[in-house]
Structure 1
Amino acid sequence: MQTADTIYDNVSHLNYGFQHEEQRPPPYAPPSGINPALPQYPGPQNPQHLYQNSERYSPAQSLHQYTPQTAAVNTHHTVTPGPYLDVNPAHKVSRRKKWPIILGIVITLLVVAGVIAVVLWFYGVFDCLQGRRCQTDNECVSFSQWCDGEHNCPSGDNKTQCFRLFGSNFLLQMYSNVTLKWENVCSDGWNDSLGMQACEEMGYERSTYVGYEEFYSSASTDYMLAKTDSLSSSNLTGFLSKTSYCPSNKAVALKCIVCGQNRETRIVGGTTVTSKGVWPWQVSLQISRRHLCGGSVITPYWIVTAAHCVHENSDARDWTVYAGYLTLAEMQSATGNSVSRIVIHNFDPRTNENDIALMKLNSPLTITTNVRPVCLPNKGMYFTAPQECYVTGWGALFSGGSPSQTLQEAKIQLIDRTTCNSQPVYDRQITDTMICAGKLEGGVDSCQGDSGGPLVTKENSLWWLVGDTSWGDGCAFRNKPGVYGNVTYFLDWIYEQMRKY
């Protein structure tokens, strides 16, 4: 991680989160960069530049001199003569002869359309227009059957995708098969037994359950616990019935895990972390006791990292996770935690698309003041530029350098996607799966060895995981901020893997 005041220009190499001397990452792995790309401004979705085997960096001109160019619009109305346009008066067709030709063309078009419709129907394109498809079984379930408490999907998908947490207050919401919307859950009749079930269905372990609180709800129609005598059923969705009002007007705020808490002993303006527990979710991912990447604790069993870290080293038995340490020297004599499974998203090493992966540990981490999960961002949370964030890791202190022996931190800002996709910066390479963060003037950035590590921000007194360090051109170069995996974008995928495994 580079935090020097020097601004580098006219350098030509690509910076990765791996150490090259450790033969990582693969030649096409994304460069490292501690930068969040977060504002949800529309931008081109398909990067135009592919990473090659060589390193690169284009200094580009100042953003203040950059004027977005709008593609020219063709205002001319161009008409191509058709078969019935009299372009040659000498060969006119009589009106009587036109109608059979027109009729024949119409019939031909209808036949072609019918054939296409039959083909689409045969391949199942139209068989789920009035419902949702079970992800695991690929079967179609009507909207009225989704989240109705029954096993309409053989795998139970329609029951495990019914709850979610919303906003920084962790409001519990349930998907309504009546309104086809997410509704707040009324607190009337709610209890901890139901809370544990809801957390478990979202993907959390029962052992991490914290409890629930009541918040006044502004929703006009909330879900309310059915007032019946059969509340001993294990079918949580069967307990809930739709009502036009919530008598208490209070909604459930559910805490499935203690997250986002740290020890506020950080030195203002400092770059070296001198106290344990400041960033308790930061972990080191190692092979043969060599630090390769960083990661973030999200539960005692699960670690979030970058896909490019494990793309070519996907054997879980090779990896060891070290949590709660400040220096690499400490880890040399520590045992660490072995990994049972690695789950990689649909990562594209050419474009760095979907650069996120999960590691599941064989045994859970022991949660202490020095080892704690960071909060996954809930639905409805939007992090926008220039929000202040922190990136941490044991990455190099300058481009091409060796790993830092002590955990480093850097304070940076989110950069909106429109700016990050401008020609002087990353020229349309930033997609919805990425966020940018850093300083356009350079000088502060993540570097080799920081990949997979956390980009976090503080909101509502808690720390939230905004991104995982992915790539960047060089380290701390002007107009080349860090690029991170957009954790908010991957939220559904993360919970899906936690439920599945």
Structure 2
Amino acid sequence: MQTTDTTYDNVSHVNYGFQHEEQRPPPFAPPSGINPALPQYHGPQNPQYVHQNSPPQYFSERYSPAQSLHQYTPQTAPVNTHRTVTPGPYLDVNPVHKASRRKKWPFILGIVITLLVVAGVIAVVLWFYGIFDCLQGRRCKTDEKCVSFSQWCDGVQDCPSGDDETQCSRLFGSDYLLQMYSNMNQKWENVCSDGWNDNLGMQACEEMGYERNTYVGYEEIYSRASTDYMLVKTDSLGSSNLTGFHSKTSDCPSNKAVALKCIDCGRNSETRIVGGTMVTSKGVWPWQVSLQISRRHLCGGSVITPYWVVTAAHCVYENSDARDWTVYAGYLTRTEMQLATGNSVSRIVMHNFDPRTNENDIALMKLNLPLTITSNVRPVCLPNKGMYFTAPRECYITGWGSQSSGGSPSPTLQEAKIQLIDRTTCNSRPVYNGQITETMICAGKLEGGVDSCQGDSGGPLVIKENSLWWLVGDTSWGDGCAFRNKPGVYGNVTYFLDWIYEQMRRY
């Protein structure tokens, strides 16, 4: 992690985050302008669990001259006035040409009719082979069974794997509002606190993917996020379940919603030295871990539950055997880790990562044994739906990465304060020229001097909100370290939220 005030203009190491003989496959830029610039926090992904053969080694050097960031003003095309003709009786000066154009219409009409007929035949064939037979529903992931929308989230398992009854509840905003999906109204609604209890709370947390023993509790809060509430059903014996039904506000006597806390996360010791770059207390960033093979630090990671760690996919792309990895949590120096045992890894789950573009650069590690939660080892909070982090929001990065491009890893945990950078700015020509997709976010300083570097990959990019720290990104890639107009690029954790919960539920 580089935290100098010097501005650099030469680009050397392409993917600064990965410590693999100081190199890893570089990102190859897609053609300029093909990636969307604005959307940042959207829907779920289709996960794949990749355990692939090692790809060929790429050089991690790429030359890309740094340039000053310019502001571009769109130019309006000039109006051609000298050929503009005022309508009048002498406008039709060439009736022969008009007649020839009229003769083309039957030919054009014939082509259109032919295309429509061909499209109709294709549609019938697709319908015959079952392509369009699920327009009024969704398919189960395991056996491709079509289940109607009214059967999703209705409390009855219609998919063999239960796909239709997962992801039916979620947490919203920094207040942890519990919301359930109404299949009747096709929207998310707050859960009314009337009739709610801790048993229901633990059940809801388990269905999202958290372990039962991490459950914290719930609160009743007034909410302006929705005027409708979801109530839990109670059977004749008085027991409750999470199957809800739609109700107007007047049917929720308390007019209060459930705020559910599934895990104690995002708290630290707050003993950070202002303006410092070396971390001096173990409790400052208690979710930061070191990921090592044969006692050699390769990447960083973030604790999200006692069993689960978030890191970057490129860290495990060439080393996907979980038995090779050891996780070290609660340490400041690499010397301490040399004397420690660490935690073994039972499973690695990688997104469908593209090593050429660094698309979907996120992975999860599940530990064989859970971490012991102390003041020095704590999970960071996953961002909830409805939380939006926009530039120029202040954030922090941490890690044992090198303090200069191509240098050796830092012996002590380092920290740096940076800012989020708008995707439009980051995709401009002087910066990354269209390489930043919705699975990525930019953070750093355009003037250079402060950045993550080799060895910081997979580590946390965090933001503080509502007195808690939230995991916004995992360190992914960049051109060099701390160069001008080449800020760090991070995996967009908010974008991957549904994928993360899906893996936690599945495993």
Q: TM-score range by the shorter chain?
A: 0.7 to 0.9
- Please give the alpha-carbon distance, in whole angstroms, between the structure 2 residues aligned to 1:248 and 1:91: 72
- Please give the alpha-carbon distance, in whole angstroms, between the structure 2 residues aligned to 1:250 and 1:102: 63
| Correspondence list, 1:110-121, <5 A | 110-121=116-127
Residue identity over aligned pairs, in percent, reads 78
- Secondary structure of 1:252's counterpart equals strand
1:393 to 1:90, Cα distance in 2 relative to 1, 3 A: closer
User: How much has 1:59 moved relative to structure 2?
Assistant: 3.9
Name which of 343, 356, 372 aligns with 1:350. 356
- Please give the alpha-carbon distance, in whole angstroms, between the structure 1 residues aligned to 2:6 and 2:18: 23
> What amino acid maps onto 1:9 in structure 2?
D
105-114 vs 7-16, which moves further: 105-114
- Please give the alpha-carbon distance, in whole angstroms, between the structure 2 residues aligned to 1:126 and 1:312: 39
- Please give the alpha-carbon distance, in whole angstroms, between the structure 1 residues aligned to 2:73 and 2:307: 46
The match for 2:50 is none
Q: 2:48 matched to 1:41?
A: no
Q: 2:196 matched to 1:190?
A: yes
8 Å CA contact 2:66, 2:486 repeated in 1:
no
- Please give the alpha-carbon distance, in whole angstroms, between the structure 2 residues aligned to 1:425 and 1:29: 14
- Please give the alpha-carbon distance, in whole angstroms, between the structure 1 residues aligned to 2:28 and 2:281: 31
Q: Deviations for 1:168-218, whole angstroms, at most 9, x for unmatched residues? A: 000000000011000000000000000011000001110111110011123
167-176 vs 105-114, which moves further: 105-114
- Please give the alpha-carbon distance, in whole angstroms, between the structure 1 residues aligned to 2:118 and 2:168: 41
1:114 to 1:392, Cα distance in 2 relative to 1, 3 A: same
The match for 2:493 is 487
User: How much has 1:153 moved relative to structure 2?
Assistant: 1.2
Q: Which ranges in structure 1 are unaligned for 5 or more consecutive residues? A: 32-38, 46-50, 76-84
The match for 2:275 is 269
The match for 2:92 is none
- Secondary structure of 1:243's counterpart equals strand
RMSD of Structure 2 on Structure 1 (CA): 2.9
> What amino acid maps onto 2:62 in structure 1?
R
| Correspondence list, 1:18-417, <5 A | 18-21=18-21, 25=24, 27-28=25-26, 41-42=38-39, 53-63=59-69, 65-67=70-72, 108-218=114-224, 219-232=226-239, 235-237=241-243, 240-245=244-249, 246-417=252-423
Greater RCO (Cα-Cα under 8 Å, separation 6 or more) = 1
1:405 to 1:104, Cα distance in 2 relative to 1, 3 A: closer
- Please give the alpha-carbon distance, in whole angstroms, between the structure 1 residues aligned to 2:74 and 2:399: 38
User: How much has 1:40 moved relative to structure 2?
Assistant: 7.8
1:461 to 1:89, Cα distance in 2 relative to 1, 3 A: closer
- Please give the alpha-carbon distance, in whole angstroms, between the structure 2 residues aligned to 1:462 and 1:198: 22
User: How much has 1:6 moved relative to structure 2?
Assistant: 1.1
1:73 to 1:362, Cα distance in 2 relative to 1, 3 A: farther
1:73 to 1:465, Cα distance in 2 relative to 1, 3 A: farther
1:393 to 1:244, Cα distance in 2 relative to 1, 3 A: same
- Please give the alpha-carbon distance, in whole angstroms, between the structure 2 residues aligned to 1:109 and 1:494: 44
- Please give the alpha-carbon distance, in whole angstroms, between the structure 1 residues aligned to 2:207 and 2:264: 17
User: How much has 1:381 moved relative to structure 2?
Assistant: 0.1
User: How much has 1:120 moved relative to structure 2?
Assistant: 2.4
User: How much has 1:11 moved relative to structure 2?
Assistant: 3.6
Equivalent pairs counted in the alignment come to 470
1:220 to 1:28, Cα distance in 2 relative to 1, 3 A: same
User: How much has 1:227 moved relative to structure 2?
Assistant: 4.3
1:493 to 1:68, Cα distance in 2 relative to 1, 3 A: farther
9-18 vs 355-364, which moves further: 9-18
The match for 1:34 is none
- Please give the alpha-carbon distance, in whole angstroms, between the structure 1 residues aligned to 2:19 and 2:430: 27
8 Å CA contact 1:344, 1:358 repeated in 2:
yes
8 Å CA contact 2:27, 2:357 repeated in 1:
no
Q: Deviations for 1:423-473, whole angstroms, at most 9, x for unmatched residues? A: 111111100000000011111100000000000000000000000000011
- Please give the alpha-carbon distance, in whole angstroms, between the structure 2 residues aligned to 1:52 and 1:318: 22
- Secondary structure of 2:266's counterpart equals coil
| Correspondence list, 1:452-463, <5 A | 452-463=458-469
8 Å CA contact 1:40, 1:384 repeated in 2:
no
- Secondary structure of 2:171's counterpart equals strand
Q: Deviations for 1:51-82, whole angstroms, at most 9, x for unmatched residues? A: 9735124343322x33255797999xxxxxxx
Q: TM-score, length-normalised on structure 2?
A: 0.86
Name which of 473, 477, 493 aligns with 1:471. 477
> What amino acid maps onto 2:26 in structure 1?
Y
The match for 1:78 is none
- Please give the alpha-carbon distance, in whole angstroms, between the structure 1 residues aligned to 2:436 and 2:461: 17
User: How much has 1:159 moved relative to structure 2?
Assistant: 1.0
Q: Which ranges in structure 2 are unaligned for 5 or more consecutive residues? A: 30-35, 43-56, 81-94
